[in-house]
Structure 1
Amino acid sequence: MKSSVGSLHSFDISTGVDGPGTRFVAFLAGCPLRCQYCHSPDTWFRRSGKPITADALMAEIQRYERFIKISGGGVTLSGGEPLQQTSFVRSILHSCHSKGIHTALDTSGFLGARADDSLLADVDLVLLDIKSGDETTYRTVTRTGRLAPTAAFAHRLGDLGKPIWVRFVLVPGLTDAVPNVEAVAALAASVPTVERVEVLPFHRLGVGKYEALGIPFPLATTAAPAPELLDRVHAQFRDHGLTVY
């Protein structure tokens, strides 16, 4: 059978931030959203990556297989948005599962309908980035997307019994409104397989990439959230019975 071909931006080895244990993280190129706080504008387009076959990526993963298994880690497919490349993602996930490697899918859920049940059968954990809790704010944040597909995907994952780690980027003046956070918390709490919520403080570490690409960074003057704001948002999630990091 011919190996599926994908567009790979880069890969890295990380610990504790992209799923449990030490992980091989493959960043796939291409994303339908244009989030104002995106720190990787260099992954927006498929052409930003390099063509690679599933067999070639698996060969790279296997170089680290023993190391990641010993650490209780695995492979995380991230982006960009990996569900833009479902055929390639399906191949990698299935190959990893056949080797007993833990798999995580890092996605906004906006393209969740593209992931059929057979693809999700090879996913052990979903890192679900919920951009905002109401449609208006979601549209403002992503500039191209809608919340409804993400919400539908979250509930579908719950019905399938798939573990979820919710990620929420906290941006002062953009995603921090009390009603918006409440809506994200309510959505997360309504899905029984959500194991934790990770509140990710906004940062400007990707500004150099925007400058290199000649793209204005929309949040160039936005500061990181103050400790009091983080405390308030954490409390909002905890009030819904959620475990928060």
Structure 2
Amino acid sequence: MAVLLGTDIPVRPVVADEDAATPAAAATHRPVTGSIHSWDLSTGVDGPGTRFVTFLAGCPLSCLYCHNPDTWRMRDGKRTTADDVIAEAAKYTRFISAAGGGATVSGGEPLLQPVFTGELLHRLKHELGLHTALDTSGFLGARATDALLRDVDLVLLDIKSWHPETYQKVTGRPLAPTLDFAHRLADLGKDVWVRFVLVPGLTDDPANIEGVARFAASLGNVSRVDVLPFHKLGEAKWDALGKDFTLRDTPSPTPEQVAAAKKIFEAQGLKAV
């Protein structure tokens, strides 16, 4: 299913028997497929250690600072089986394990393809024995079944703003579903790293940062906050796609601005990096 900007994405409620604990492939006896943008090895930004990261295609958000706007539509991805992804990840399992890493399912937004995402997480964890992470905005958190989340060791949760109007401006979507998902993860005791992008003139209001910090600290399961400085590395992709990059003239935050944001999180007892 193609994801078009401006199209409402229905958020389906969690159904008890959907994505049951048995992987989808075993349940259907058919290869589970999904739309993938790419995969890569990364260090430090997609969870602890060296990680095999699968970037799924399709995202219901349209973030103004997105550095991968080419991942927004599922139809632009490559149809791939879970078997193919697992076979690729298996090539690096020994190296990843020795480096204290794991595997991350990212996007786009992986919860736009919850069955495929659940299959990948289950097999990465149980077949390859890897630490697993889910990188998500949380907007489609209602699509993540408890079975899927049982196969997740760490959630990288993007909270892009505390002020609802700023969140809507940044993403084109409401904030509430992300906060609901964060509360659910807290109830499950799931380890979470909050990720916050610092954009001068957009998300850098100290009251906005403090709101995110207070919320994250209140959950009790946030072990780290990544303060990510805004950058324009994706500008060329916006241009190539014929999209208007409205933050073209926005500067990256200074080291002092990043340090000040981190102090706000640390004042709430959180580890900020």
TM-score tier after normalising by the smaller chain length: over 0.9
The equivalences for 1:154-173 within 5 A come to 154-173=182-201
Match of 1:102 in 2: 131
- How far the C-alpha of 1:192 sits from its partner, in A, is 0.8
Q: Does 1:188 align with 2:216?
A: yes
Give me the whole-angstrom Cα distance separating, in 1, the residues matched to 2:44 and 2:256.
25
The superposition leaves residues 31-64 of structure 1 with CA deviations (integer Å, 9 ceiling, x where unpaired) of: 0000111010000000111000111111111111
Q: Does 1:134 align with 2:166?
A: no
Give me the whole-angstrom Cα distance separating, in 2, the residues matched to 1:122 and 1:63.
21
The equivalences for 1:19-38 within 5 A come to 19-38=47-66
Give me the whole-angstrom Cα distance separating, in 2, the residues matched to 1:62 and 1:198.
28
- How far the C-alpha of 1:231 sits from its partner, in A, is 2.1
Give me the whole-angstrom Cα distance separating, in 2, the residues matched to 1:180 and 1:140.
14
2:179 to 151, 169, 172: 151
The DSSP-based 3-state class of the residue aligned with 2:219 is coil
The superposition leaves residues 115-143 of structure 1 with CA deviations (integer Å, 9 ceiling, x where unpaired) of: 01110000000000101012111101102
Match of 1:3 in 2: 31
- How far the C-alpha of 1:66 sits from its partner, in A, is 1.3
Letter in 1 for 2:79: P
Give me the whole-angstrom Cα distance separating, in 1, the residues matched to 2:97 and 2:256.
38
Give me the whole-angstrom Cα distance separating, in 1, the residues matched to 2:254 and 2:88.
40
The DSSP-based 3-state class of the residue aligned with 1:75 is strand
Give me the whole-angstrom Cα distance separating, in 1, the residues matched to 2:45 and 2:258.
18
Letter in 1 for 2:36: L
2:256 to 225, 228, 231: 228
- How far the C-alpha of 1:69 sits from its partner, in A, is 1.2
Give me the whole-angstrom Cα distance separating, in 1, the residues matched to 2:137 and 2:112.
11
Q: Segments of 4+ in structure 1 off by > 3 A?
A: none
2:144 to 103, 112, 115: 115
Give me the whole-angstrom Cα distance separating, in 2, the residues matched to 1:193 and 1:168.
16
Unaligned runs of 5+ in 2: 1-28
Give me the whole-angstrom Cα distance separating, in 1, the residues matched to 2:263 and 2:94.
39
The DSSP-based 3-state class of the residue aligned with 2:47 is coil
The DSSP-based 3-state class of the residue aligned with 1:77 is strand
Letter in 2 for 1:185: A
TM-score when scaled to structure 1? 0.98
Give me the whole-angstrom Cα distance separating, in 2, the residues matched to 1:3 and 1:119.
18
Moved more, 169-178 or 59-68: 59-68
Q: Does 1:68 align with 2:96?
A: yes
TM-score when scaled to structure 2? 0.88
Q: Does 1:210 align with 2:261?
A: no
Give me the whole-angstrom Cα distance separating, in 2, the residues matched to 1:174 and 1:137.
7
Q: Does 1:197 align with 2:225?
A: yes
The superposition leaves residues 83-116 of structure 1 with CA deviations (integer Å, 9 ceiling, x where unpaired) of: 0000100111111121211100000001001001
Unaligned runs of 5+ in 1: none
Match of 1:13 in 2: 41
Count matched residues.
244
Percent identical:
60
